[in-house]
Amino acid sequence: MSAAPEPARPPALHADSLQVCYAQGAATLAAVRDVSFRVSEHERVGIVGESGAGKSQAFLAVMGLLPKYARISGSVRFEGREILGLEPRALNRVRGSRLTMIFQDPMSSLTPHMKIGAQLAEVLVHHAGLTWRAAQLAALEMLDRVRIPDARRRLRQYPHELSGGMRQRVMIGMSLLCDPALLIADEPTSALDVTVQAQIIELLRALHAQSRMSIVLISHDMGVVAAIAQRILVMYAGRIVESAPAGKLLRQARHPYSALLIRCVPSLREPRGERMACLPGQAPGAADLERGCAFAPRCPRASARCHEERPPLRALEADAQVACHHPLEP
Partner 1 sequence: MLRYFIKRLAAALPTLFIIVTLSFFLTRLAPGGPFDEERSLPPQIMANLQSAYGLDQPVWVQYGRYLRALGRGDFGPSFRYKDFTVSELIGQGLPVTLELGSLALALALGIGIPLGTMSALHRNAAADALAVSLAVLGVAIPSFVLLPLLGLLFGVTLHWLPVAGWERGSIRHLVLPVAALSLPPLAYIARLTRSGMLETLSSPFIRTARAKGLPLRAIITRHALRPALVPVAGYLAPAIASIMTGSLVVESIAGLPGVGRYLVQGALNRDYTLVLGMVVLYSSVLIAMGLLVDLLHAWLDPRVRFSAPQ
Are the C-beta atoms of 192 and 164 separated by less than 8 Å?
yes
Binders in 132-161 for partner 1, by CB under 8 A: 158, 160-161
The whole-angstrom separation of Cα 39 and Cα 14 is 6
Specify the residue, 123 or 246, whose C-beta has the smaller distance to partner 1.
Answer: 123
The least CB distance from residue 202 to partner 1, in Å, is: 23
By CB under 8 A, name the one of 14, 38, 95, 208 that touches partner 1.
95
Is residue 47 within the footprint of partner 1 (CB under 8 A)? Answer: no
Is residue 52 within the footprint of partner 1 (CB under 8 A)? Answer: no
Of 279, 239, 318, 287, nearest to 28 (Cα)? 287
Is residue 192 within the footprint of partner 1 (CB under 8 A)? Answer: no
Binders in 104-123 for partner 1, by CB under 8 A: 105, 108-114, 122-123
Burial of 315 from C-beta contacts in 10 A (0-12 / 13-18 / 19+)? exposed
Specify the residue, 96 or 284, whose C-beta has the smaller distance to partner 1.
Answer: 96
The least CB distance from residue 95 to partner 1, in Å, is: 4
Contacts of 326 (CB under 8 A, 6+ apart): 256, 301, 303, 306
Of 68, 75, 64, nearest to 101 (Cα)? 64
The least CB distance from residue 102 to partner 1, in Å, is: 8
Specify the residue, 61 or 296, whose C-beta has the smaller distance to partner 1.
Answer: 61
Is residue 12 within the footprint of partner 1 (CB under 8 A)? Answer: no
Are the C-beta atoms of 232 and 215 separated by less than 8 Å?
no
Checking DSSP bridges between strand 182-186 and strand 231-236, what pairing results, if any?
A: unpaired
By CB under 8 A, name the one of 40, 57, 97, 136 that touches partner 1.
97
Is residue 128 within the footprint of partner 1 (CB under 8 A)? Answer: no
By CB under 8 A, name the one of 21, 29, 86, 91 that touches partner 1.
91
The whole-angstrom separation of Cα 219 and Cα 229 is 11
Is residue 17 within the footprint of partner 1 (CB under 8 A)? Answer: no
Measured CA to CA in angstroms, residue 247 lies from 49, 231, 244 at distances of: 18, 8, 8
Of 220, 233, 155, 158, nearest to 188 (Cα)? 220
Is residue 45 within the footprint of partner 1 (CB under 8 A)? Answer: no
Are the C-beta atoms of 147 and 169 separated by less than 8 Å?
yes
Is residue 23 within the footprint of partner 1 (CB under 8 A)? Answer: no
The least CB distance from residue 61 to partner 1, in Å, is: 13
Q: Which residues bind partner 1 (CB under 8 A)?
A: 63, 65, 88-89, 91-97, 100-101, 103, 105, 108-114, 122-123, 126-127, 158, 160-163, 171, 174
